[in-house]
Structure 1
């Protein structure tokens, strides 16, 4: 079959979650250019569910996703995708304004509790005197979530084709004709869920790009035998220079919180970013680093205002944007998929997202 109601370009968490909500209501195909879905940003995420992460534009989607991740429907997953973590935001003298902004921005929606950071983080260096605890934060089982969405997608009749890239697309009287590396595919609605390649897919489809920029984020896995325990909170610098979290006994994942503009690509870590990450970590705690065991990088893709882009293009009929999820696409996936499906089909929004103002995420905001 080479005619579908909807074709989704991109099989990461964005495309898989939206496809799972649309399949069964229409014939849906997901096109994935790699040999396996979720190879890029989804497969490299250090994912957690944190309501303050991404700012107030993102928070409604994160908050609405929490119950769906914590207590999924039995036919979707037999267990929760979340496990308790907590976040400890730490700062030094001079970071008071950042702490106060965080509290002011989120105090009406998120529990944030001033604490003595040294009491929660043994080995913290004495200059780190500011602490805010965000107790509701959880880790996300990314692989399980992504696979659950792909299973639901297939169970509802959706089709996934991997190793197949969109080369061009154009509109005709009957809808879209997509030229791929293996021939033509026709559809009524074309969905751009291509992550770092979102603007490229738009241009290949004759649609004006909206300025979605891929940003490289570096992560290293350190062996730290002196780390006090494996259930430490996620530790985030109030000045956004690093964060780290335990990844098992004596191991942690660390990032220098870098956001370097990058062309869409198979991202690789740069040695300078790895060195900066370790230096910033050692400024914060006195735990010796025994080894760098792994290092990797992924691309986080942001619209100009850093909010997700969900909705039909302002100028091209039947071209639907589902992109710009930045570094928060996994923690917002359940709500974003429900909201996106509602916008695409015109059906009433699911109760879980009925209170979210969808126009805030419309591509029409870019004129």
Structure 2
């Protein structure tokens, strides 16, 4: 039996960053990751973009809290995790209400004319654009460097990571959680449920009251750069109606249908029909025909029904901590949520505003 102060279930960016911050406080931490590598599912399939205006008001507060760390990631990297990109949203006439709604709740956006949008992304179909906005401060995230940096921080602080360690049984007694994997038995007074799309399954194993969490598939494909175009300086660009987006990726274009199909947790793959429909929407917005798809994949984005993460102790199960429901915001909010998790686990006052902490509390969805 391995004993620790905290067991973290899930080795994506949420679990690893939270474990690192907890271990910094002198607590013994063991991370259990079911796959053979860290960040295999959602973290490793992220669009890797930091958009300050992405998400609801609570998520935007988390984005703002995470930004200073992303720019100066002390203990994780010697240089910024961010690099310039920008996010350009374009709207047809029918999509203008969606664009106006997004702009009304955002800051740091500039309105663009159709000609200005085409100047930034020359393949956009000028006659289809009724309006456009750009967030110039949107930036690429070096997700690999971020994940590996937090893992190194965790190990430096004495934390342990066990891969291939899918949790099979859990029970609580005598003030301890007893957790079993195929190879190991562990015990700790606190368990952090950072299992991503499998967070509801982990809660079920723990006997916790269920909180509705839904995994949604998000697909993407890599396309060759349009002939004659260097895409490296282009912003991420997409529809204001969120039915497609494209992002420069290593000299090519990553295009997503921005799909959100409800699925059970699994090792996700792209649905050919969904991908084809999304690529058609993209192709109708640009002047260059799609020639071929080089590769495609999918990831899972898991949401609570109010699209706000669950971060906090369970109201009924002692020592059971929720760190789940990050949806498509998990990478960019990880620094803020890791700091909050560590503070709550250690019994410290969180740095986040009280209303943000309350909005994240899982008890809001417990009945």
TM-score range, shorter chain: over 0.9
Compare the two structures and name the one with the higher helix fraction: 2
Tell me the equivalent position of 2:5. Answer: 5
Tell me the equivalent position of 1:268. Answer: 269
The 8 Å contact of residues 58 and 356 in structure 2, kept in 1 or not, is answered as no
* Cα shift at 1:356: 6.4
- For residues 198-217 of structure 1, the C-alpha deviation after alignment (integer angstroms, 9 at most, x for no partner) is 00000011112201111110
- Of 7-16 and 282-291, deviating more is 282-291
Runs of 4+ in 1 over 4 A off after TM superposition: none
Tell me the equivalent position of 1:161. Answer: 162
- For residues 59-97 of structure 1, the C-alpha deviation after alignment (integer angstroms, 9 at most, x for no partner) is 111111111111221x32111110000111100002221
The 8 Å contact of residues 51 and 63 in structure 1, kept in 2 or not, is answered as yes
The 8 Å contact of residues 121 and 232 in structure 1, kept in 2 or not, is answered as yes
Q: How does 1:189-200 map to 2 (within 5 A)?
A: 189-200=190-201
In structure 2, C-alpha distance between the alignment counterparts of 1:33 and 1:248, rounded to whole Å? 30
Superposition RMSD in Å: 1.4
In structure 2, C-alpha distance between the alignment counterparts of 1:222 and 1:209, rounded to whole Å? 41
- For residues 16-57 of structure 1, the C-alpha deviation after alignment (integer angstroms, 9 at most, x for no partner) is 000010014211000001011111111111110001222222
* Cα shift at 1:355: 6.9
1:113 aligns with 2:110: yes
Q: How does 1:1-367 map to 2 (within 5 A)?
A: 2-24=2-24, 25-73=26-74, 75-106=75-106, 110-116=107-113, 117-125=117-125, 126-226=127-227, 227-249=229-251, 251-350=252-351, 353=352, 357-367=356-366
* Cα shift at 1:290: 3.0
In structure 2, C-alpha distance between the alignment counterparts of 1:355 and 1:348, rounded to whole Å? 10
In structure 2, C-alpha distance between the alignment counterparts of 1:133 and 1:172, rounded to whole Å? 54
Q: What secondary structure is seen at the aligned counterpart in 2 of 1:167?
A: strand
In structure 1, C-alpha distance between the alignment counterparts of 2:288 and 2:32, rounded to whole Å? 45
Q: What secondary structure is seen at the aligned counterpart in 2 of 1:328?
A: helix
Task: Tell me the TM-score normalized by structure 2.
Answer: 0.95
- For residues 145-203 of structure 1, the C-alpha deviation after alignment (integer angstroms, 9 at most, x for no partner) is 00001000000000001101111111101311112211321111011000000000000
Q: What secondary structure is seen at the aligned counterpart in 1 of 2:130?
A: strand
| Gap regions ≥5 residues in structure 2 | none
- For residues 103-133 of structure 1, the C-alpha deviation after alignment (integer angstroms, 9 at most, x for no partner) is 2212xxx211110222322121111221001
In structure 1, C-alpha distance between the alignment counterparts of 2:169 and 2:238, rounded to whole Å? 42
In structure 2, C-alpha distance between the alignment counterparts of 1:288 and 1:102, rounded to whole Å? 29
Task: Tell me the TM-score normalized by structure 1.
Answer: 0.95
The 8 Å contact of residues 255 and 277 in structure 1, kept in 2 or not, is answered as yes
